Amino acid sequence: MASVTQQQIQKFHKDGFLVLEQFFSAEECDSMRSQIQRLVAEMEVPPHCRTAFSTREEEQLQEQGSSDYFLTSGDKIRFFFEKGVLDEKGNFLIAKEKSVSKIGHALHAYDPVFKQITHSPKVQELGRKLGLERPVVVQSMYIFKQPGIGGEVTPHQDASFLHTEPLGKILGFWIALEDATQENGCLWFIPGSHTNGISRRMVRAASGASTCVEFVGSEPAYDDKQFIPLPISKGGLILIHGEVVHKSELNSSESSRHAFTFHVMEAKGTTWSKENWLQPTPELPFPSLYT
């Protein structure tokens, strides 16, 4: 890959995102895909997905169970499913490998293939070019965007979920492991939308609340016409500023749109919000991006 230029870095600061085609090789993409195939082949359906729904109250407890599963996934490798792929007993209605929506949130820490990609020399070099002094990796996810059912991701800002004081300290790395097209659900951005702060936050709910997380504030109505699509080829990297507004549409095509994404925080002079759903643990403090 060519080294990133100062001009590209200026463009990133102006737009809030930057497309770097062919950042990773086809071999690197394929190694991630085959590693995920192995993980999916060995995956067990989590018990909370196997509970039969009955009464309203049980359904709420069920939700509670699944949100616990989510809330405690920061330092584990866990599986999240598309809607409607399991019957009420937790059996797959479609092929297992077509049912997973995403795997998160600590692939970067516990899986050798994803750890190597996250900390690869070219990622570290890019971090230094961007002026990151003490970047730490806060989370990672493998996203499947399954054919025909890969759900839309409504317009949002990553900093709504990964809040820091001050803002402007979160950076997403989004890697296309297959060509991402308008048909199969590529990302769309509002250029320059990273300069107005955030309007909504997802926070841990007070203990005893009926849900584990709640939203403070609300997402404004964005004008569809402001979004531009960013199709990108396999191996391409999209850098995503923590406050830039982006979305993806439903995948109605017959091809999946696999991606690996991780988020980095500039830890220098930054406080990670205690209200974030994701918290570092004694087992997994946020690891330094630089090795």
Amino acid, single-letter form, for residue 43: M
Taking the C-alpha atoms of residue 233 and residue 181, their distance in angstroms, rounded to an integer, is: 8
Tokens 């018990």 identify what position?
47
Query: 136: helix, coil or strand?
Result: strand
Q: Tell me which residue of 82, 81, 131 sits closest to 268, measured CA to CA.
A: 131
pLDDT of residue 3: 83
Whole-number Cα distances in Å, 47 to 62, 87, 123, 194: 10, 13, 37, 39
Whether the CB-CB separation of 160 and 168 falls below 8 Å is answered with: no
Q: How far apart are CA 241 and CA 243, in angstroms?
A: 6
Predicted local confidence at residue 143, as pLDDT? 97
Enter the tokens of residue 91: 């059996």
Report the pLDDT value the prediction gives residue 1, as an integer from 0 to 100.
61
The residue extents of the domains of the chain are 6-272
pLDDT tens-digit map of 78-97:
999 888 888 888 888 999 89
Task: Report residue 125: phi and psi, to 5°.
Answer: -65, -40
The pair of three-digit structure tokens given for residue 246, joined into one six-digit string: 């982006």
User: 17: which strand partners?
Assistant: 240
Give counts: helices (H), strands (E), the chain: 7, 15
Looking at residue 82, its pLDDT comes to 87
The CATH superfamily label for domain 6-272 reads: q2cbj1_9rhob like domain (2.60.120.620)
Positions of the chain with pLDDT lower than 50, given as ranges: none
